[in-house]
Amino acid sequence: MKAEFVKSAARPDHFTGEDLPEVAFVGRSNSGKSTLINALTGQKRLAKASNSPGRTQLIQFFLINGSLSFADLPGYGYAKVPESIRSSWRPMIETYLRVRANLCLVVLVADIRRDITNDELLLIDWLTQYERAVLVVLSKTDKLSANEQALRMKKIRKALSFLPPERICPYSAKTGKGREQIWQSIGGIVQDFTKPAEE
Ligand SMILES: Nc1nc2c(ncn2[C@@H]2O[C@H](COP(=O)(O)OP(=O)(O)OP(=O)(O)O)[C@@H](O)[C@H]2O)c(=O)[nH]1
Ligand SMILES: [Mg+2]
């Protein structure tokens, strides 16, 4: 697989072209978005993963095999980020999610150990209203025993019972669990992509 960084951007007129299907990765800071992009592409340092949450403050675009685009969105919900920066993120992310014509799938990454927040429910609801396909990836399963994982899955599936079961995927960057299922979901949705018409 060939994966390369294309650019960082904050405004729609700076985004990359819209002729390739795009998958966006959203979620709280530190949930594992950048690590997931690295795990999916098999390139450890493609997207910057860090121990200091809130570092990625622009939308980062990546080109995968010359035929697919990934967008790593800045994480939200991290208290240490100044309000001035936080307040500019929200419109940026919302604008991106609303206007991006080639956006085929929104991958919402959430730590399996945390309960789904009201913010996340609102985001899924909002995306559904804009007819965006959503895949919820529950990260860091390696931090739990098999029993604990099963309990957490049951609880989260209940909270997200309005989603089809295959749209919720337990995952670990450490063990590779869920990687195949996530690629399958991406493949299934992306193959229906048709180039947006020129305005
Ligand atoms: N054990 C374990 N650690 C993980 C996993 N996924 C991510 N991490 C760790 O979680 C931390 C945060 O991961 P990132 O990928 O930087 O998180 P992010 O969502 O991109 O965070 P922001 O860019 O701040 O929004 C890093 O220390 C990762 O190594 C996982 O599946 N298992
Ligand atoms: Mg990141």
Q: How confident is the model at residue 52 (pLDDT cuts 50, 70, 90)?
A: low
Closest ligand 1 atom, CA of 74?
A: 25
Q: What is the pLDDT of residues 127-152, one digit of tens each?
A: 999 899 999 999 999 999 999 999 99
Q: Is 161 near ligand 1, meaning CB less than 6 Å away?
A: no
Answer yes or no: are the C-beta atoms of 106 and 142 closer than 8 Å: no
Q: Which atom of ligand 1 is nearest to the CA of 172?
A: 31
Q: Is residue 11 within 6 Å of ligand 1 at its C-beta?
A: no
Q: Which among 47, 78, 73, 34 is positioned nearest to 173, based on CA atoms?
A: 34
Q: What is the CA radius of gyration of the chain?
A: 16
The residue whose C-alpha atom lies closest to atom 9 belonging to ligand 1 is 32
Structural domains in the chain, sorted by start: 3-190 (3.40.50.300)
The pTM score is 0.93
